Structure 1
């Protein structure tokens, strides 16, 4: 564990504690009791574990106590507090106690030979929360948050985290981690699902979304080996491992791998050597739901879309897609005609008294070997593996080490692949496993693939790209400068352009697939796809949106080149003043509104503030004006948001708006549009007043200010131009001064 600066440590009488990141109740399922000393039959005997110690230059089998295995001293201790520094560990212990009872219920049913086990919704939700927190509290996550300062935080969400902590009392990254864990522990997971809104408000948004995704986009199943000699391993990082592709790039100068995208098809939680919880993504085949053609095709399209987001889509498939599991049955539906229907008295709402029936699915040796293989593939950087029996461990090691190498184009092509360098950690790990196998009586020899050190075509291109990176900024074209401002480089250019085309093809496939469905459903699909795309690198979204505009407006004339220039370029120019998580959303808003406005050039979006003569308003104008980007108060630019929120509060008071109208607006100006809601009228007024005081509002803007005004207030958040309303520069300046005097 990283040391904590003395200046941040509060004096405390509390003693240090050994904190397990794998709870004792799980470890005990792997434990055994050593025989007592014949001379002292009352001697206390600790629960012991069979482990593989990988920490030294050679691996060895070591028997360790449950009390001292898979944990760290003071891992969850909050040294910044003057008292109750172990409070988080106590809260974790409470959750472990509740989850432990559910796991014990499942294990007892399994050991009794039952085919299934029933648990309540509360028990299921407790288990789902526990499983995510097990992943989130792991040693890998501790490494992510352990830097002593935020300046040293280097995970791929660095900018987003720095934006999140602004204005908050966090002193170190680990404070954010503790706060997130605390928020999840204290969260009440109500049957109605309001907890999803609450956690998004309470915790760091990216990790809150991860929590929601983990609990809502996967179903839970129970697996046991069908062969009596097969067992599951428990690795130090086992609760943080997933099955699914991880794409990224390796820095040739340092050898450091940076992940750019990953997909979780399966997540594993070992309960005992003979029992495992598996979480399976909803995009993988489901025998029950796949009877419906529409559902099956939708699932297949989503599956292909996830694969297409990776560097090598043909290798980005699940190696456990054929795992013979399905979701739990329940007490409120029944199967009729190949589909689930509600029982009498049920209205589709989730209730606390609902119960779920989980089968114990027997999985063949092939699947057990694949799961253990995934665990071992991710064990090259850890120090401890726990196993149930020597016989089981020998079988696992022999299967993994001797397994034939998969085809290079398969999803398993990276398994047992080493660089050939003597200090390669994966190569060293395979040697250690060979040594351990010999200790337990095996002569197995590791079969592995050594990658060719000859540069691939892509690596050669990256080398050329690195040389091109040395080109002075002023000599790069404007297009390339914008792309690089969004985080791109010459090395990523071709891949991003290719993936943007794949995104466009995916969008077209979804539109074709959904033809004939209710338009509301089709719009929901498009919005969900937009949310998914918005999480991709923003430079890729930038290219994708150029394709969208090109297709939508190829028969229409708009200013500038359709594919090369557009309002998204202005967003790229000013991206340094926009929160990183809002850049893609804002780009989507300006492109979708630009397309709508181009298709309806005569549409009057905001006649209401100008003259009572313009009373017509149609649903399309409301949609363009209010739906695409949302509120100006949430535009993603801090200075604008702060001012807009103050103005919105002022506009709630009739005296403010009345005084403003008397001072600056024509006598026939219609302040409130009769076909707009109160909220929409306030929003339009907020935009207009914000636009009046926009000059100089964002300190980091220089020559881009006029361009942002045009894009922000004519396209993303449409509202009238002050010069058009006042028709007088002097009055515009007076309004600017008056508003700033009223709203500070």
Structure 2
């Protein structure tokens, strides 16, 4: 690509000066107080600094050795020509910098309101919905415009791009006609800055088509799946720090694996639970994940269940160990607003509000006082991620000395794990921080831990599965919308009717290929509508949201069984983050479908759906046995919640399953139990189940004993055994004979 002559060199900040000024003080040269004295006042100015210039105290990690000094804000946290686009004519090469400057100007007005309200010692401040959305967009851009992403995208050749999404990026560049990864970055920045975030949420659907899809999804998640809170130290001595990459630091699991044969190390998964945005030494914006507890909202049982499911999908079903946020007890809450009220501990819409987002909505953001423990933790997460950084900025030496010592001497539960793909640099940085801490007077013992990541047999294959899944899912979305015949890069011939149940419409024999693809497209639209409804109804009372979900599900279950079957397949694929080769692996829905001749037609889709939903939940918790010992701790509570949800709330009564022979068995068994008072004598579920639930469990036990004989000859023996396993282990979980809780 021919390049235009470069424009005038320009130092371009990736952290705007309006934020740096909040950490700055006027420069006072050494000896400036005796400027008229002999031998004083000459050559005391540091290079590029003059009296009263705004400067920051800074741990300069690029100096040899690293040292604490002062730096002018006009020459820190930036790079020369960082956003210069030499593919454009000379007069247009700063088009990205100009867009960023415009965004900074708009955002600075809101941030100034925050700082001024704090300086006036107010409890907080009101901001409009437009202002809140602007801040969320700006905070994402603070991550996305940083030096790390400049390094990620800063290549003039496609083949030089070497990140873990390389294949997806090259596919995207080919499809969209981009020649350089740098052009993709500039385009994404432009797209986000110019994005009109309409209140109806249409932008969520549109954004994926406007920019690199994985980064579009990342932005949507950033805006929609966390809430913003403003923290301030409760003690005068405590302060927040600022680093190069602090706006991209998160608290939450961040895992690596190592190739057993080659020693190659790479990421295997991460889940942000808290993200950070320093505003000043006394103000820190924290983005808190929506999957963490919220007592006010969780007073609504439907909301609590929804949050628990989201937590399962993001944490419990992803990581083998139990993940707990170190900041779960951070004393913050969602902003109040002018369209809801709290009545008897529940959030309700005010009269005249219909749940739609409007421009006149406002939000009151409190300044939440946080103690030394939480200030130190937040600073620790920033210090724990300084490997790519050049600077650590702070206001007072005393506060920085104390917070640095706290980080280095704290137990390694907060971090300080020398692992991952930059182990040597990480250990060197920890030793640097230790030397600085010693120079500031600390005598306490510092600690960190070195360990090798878990081993995998072939990291390239491990990574390629994730790439293939992302590529395949992207193609599925694209091809469905474009009406193409292929699905996720898999040809019709490759599908070979995998797992296709026997309940398909007989007319499939006339035109199977076209009918299958039409039903697949319809099933995808069903899933997309389900997701849209959740996005559109944010802010509506959760009971209303759940009612809408239930009504939608009821409507879906009246559709042709093959469309419901495909909807289940897509839901499982997404909810369990499966690989493409697992899309059509048999599940309980196939077992149900293959014995459809003994199921009431109006009950077939409902039985498939209930079976699949329970199966997904159980797969999310492979280490949880609902019939295991229930201890009085968090793990026991998790077992009990899964037991109640999967055994009772989701499936209902086995007497209503839709299989006439099973329903007759259940009614007879229930009558036998009640007449004989078995439920009052049995210990089955006596500790944790009410009377109705104990009767239901005993009914299932008796039905299971008589099941095979009652249905013998109605279906083949193989299908009968499979159906028995699905019904009593998944759809209507039934306890083993030894269970007596």
Q: Contact 1:287 / 1:326 at 8 angstroms: preserved in 2?
A: no
Q: Which of 411, 415, 419 is the equivalent residue of 1:404?
A: 411
Give the 3 Å change call, closer, same or farther, for CA 357–533 of structure 1 in structure 2. Answer: farther
The alpha-carbon deviation at position 385 of structure 1 amounts to 0.9
Equivalent position of 1:690 in the other structure: none
The alpha-carbon deviation at position 439 of structure 1 amounts to 2.8
Give the 3 Å change call, closer, same or farther, for CA 123–153 of structure 1 in structure 2. Answer: same
Q: Which of 216, 230, 236 is the equivalent residue of 1:228?
A: 236
Equivalent position of 1:642 in the other structure: none
Counterpart check, 1:337 vs 2:344:
yes
Equivalent position of 2:507 in the other structure: none
The alpha-carbon deviation at position 520 of structure 1 amounts to 3.2
Equivalent position of 2:62 in the other structure: 55
The alpha-carbon deviation at position 270 of structure 1 amounts to 0.4
1:510-556 per-residue CA deviation (whole Å, 9 max, x = no partner) reads: xxx999996335589997995695387652x644752xx33222366
The alpha-carbon deviation at position 255 of structure 1 amounts to 5.3
Equivalent position of 1:359 in the other structure: 366
The alpha-carbon deviation at position 275 of structure 1 amounts to 0.4
For residues 38-53 of structure 1, the aligned pairs below 5 Å read 38=35, 45-53=52-60
CA distance in 2, matches of 1:485, 1:163: 11
Partner of 1:369: helix, strand, or coil?
A: helix
**Structure 1: gaps spanning 5 or more residues:** 1-6, 407-411, 470-479, 489-512, 559-597, 604-618, 625-744
Counterpart check, 1:150 vs 2:147:
no
Equivalent position of 1:520 in the other structure: 551
The alpha-carbon deviation at position 321 of structure 1 amounts to 1.3
Give the 3 Å change call, closer, same or farther, for CA 203–599 of structure 1 in structure 2. Answer: farther
**Structure 2: gaps spanning 5 or more residues:** 471-542, 558-563, 610-741
Q: Contact 1:50 / 1:62 at 8 angstroms: preserved in 2?
A: yes
Q: Contact 1:381 / 1:425 at 8 angstroms: preserved in 2?
A: no
Q: Which of 294, 318, 321 is the equivalent residue of 2:325?
A: 318
Equivalent position of 2:284 in the other structure: 276
For residues 288-437 of structure 1, the aligned pairs below 5 Å read 288-314=296-322, 316-406=323-413, 412=414, 415-418=415-418, 424-437=424-437
CA distance in 2, matches of 1:320, 1:484: 29
CA distance in 1, matches of 2:549, 2:467: 40
Q: Which of 156, 174, 193 is the equivalent residue of 2:182?
A: 174
Q: Contact 1:55 / 1:383 at 8 angstroms: preserved in 2?
A: yes
Q: Which of 15, 30, 55 is the equivalent residue of 2:8?
A: 15
Equivalent position of 1:697 in the other structure: none
1:223-255 per-residue CA deviation (whole Å, 9 max, x = no partner) reads: 011111111110110011111112332346775
Q: Contact 1:434 / 1:445 at 8 angstroms: preserved in 2?
A: no
Give the 3 Å change call, closer, same or farther, for CA 419–156 of structure 1 in structure 2. Answer: closer
CA distance in 1, matches of 2:307, 2:578: 26
Q: Contact 1:430 / 1:446 at 8 angstroms: preserved in 2?
A: no
Equivalent position of 1:247 in the other structure: 255
Give the 3 Å change call, closer, same or farther, for CA 213–64 of structure 1 in structure 2. Answer: same
Query: Aligned Cα RMSD in Å?
Result: 4.0
1:492-523 per-residue CA deviation (whole Å, 9 max, x = no partner) reads: xxxxxxxxxxxxxxxxxxxxx99999633558
CA distance in 2, matches of 1:275, 1:47: 19
Q: Which of 112, 129, 135 is the equivalent residue of 2:120?
A: 112
Equivalent position of 1:640 in the other structure: none
The alpha-carbon deviation at position 405 of structure 1 amounts to 3.4
Equivalent position of 1:261 in the other structure: 269
Q: Contact 1:232 / 1:273 at 8 angstroms: preserved in 2?
A: yes
Partner of 1:161: helix, strand, or coil?
A: helix
The alpha-carbon deviation at position 202 of structure 1 amounts to 1.8
The alpha-carbon deviation at position 382 of structure 1 amounts to 1.8
Counterpart check, 1:101 vs 2:109:
yes
Q: Which of 564, 569, 590 is the equivalent residue of 1:553?
A: 590
Give the 3 Å change call, closer, same or farther, for CA 204–57 of structure 1 in structure 2. Answer: same
- Taking structure 2 as the reference length, the TM-score comes to 0.62
Give the 3 Å change call, closer, same or farther, for CA 365–522 of structure 1 in structure 2. Answer: farther
The alpha-carbon deviation at position 165 of structure 1 amounts to 2.1
Counterpart check, 1:287 vs 2:295:
yes
1:362-420 per-residue CA deviation (whole Å, 9 max, x = no partner) reads: 111111111111111111232211111101100111100111333xxxxx4xx222369
Equivalent position of 2:448 in the other structure: 448
Counterpart check, 1:132 vs 2:140:
yes
Give the 3 Å change call, closer, same or farther, for CA 32–229 of structure 1 in structure 2. Answer: same
CA distance in 1, matches of 2:286, 2:423: 34
Partner of 1:230: helix, strand, or coil?
A: coil
The alpha-carbon deviation at position 31 of structure 1 amounts to 0.5
1:429-451 per-residue CA deviation (whole Å, 9 max, x = no partner) reads: 11101111133232343212233
The alpha-carbon deviation at position 200 of structure 1 amounts to 2.7
The alpha-carbon deviation at position 146 of structure 1 amounts to 1.7
Q: Contact 2:55 / 2:71 at 8 angstroms: preserved in 1?
A: yes
For residues 579-590 of structure 1, the aligned pairs below 5 Å read none
Equivalent position of 2:149 in the other structure: 141
Q: Contact 2:168 / 2:467 at 8 angstroms: preserved in 1?
A: no
Counterpart check, 1:439 vs 2:447:
no
Give the 3 Å change call, closer, same or farther, for CA 81–532 of structure 1 in structure 2. Answer: farther
1:48-92 per-residue CA deviation (whole Å, 9 max, x = no partner) reads: 111111224532112111000001111111110013101110110
CA distance in 1, matches of 2:364, 2:193: 25
Equivalent position of 1:534 in the other structure: 574
Equivalent position of 1:631 in the other structure: none
The alpha-carbon deviation at position 422 of structure 1 amounts to 12
Bigger drift between 424-433 and 393-402 goes to 424-433
Give the 3 Å change call, closer, same or farther, for CA 103–243 of structure 1 in structure 2. Answer: same
1:598-629 per-residue CA deviation (whole Å, 9 max, x = no partner) reads: 789999xxxxxxxxxxxxxxx99xxx9xxxxx
Give the 3 Å change call, closer, same or farther, for CA 144–599 of structure 1 in structure 2. Answer: farther
The alpha-carbon deviation at position 309 of structure 1 amounts to 4.5
Q: Contact 2:204 / 2:220 at 8 angstroms: preserved in 1?
A: yes
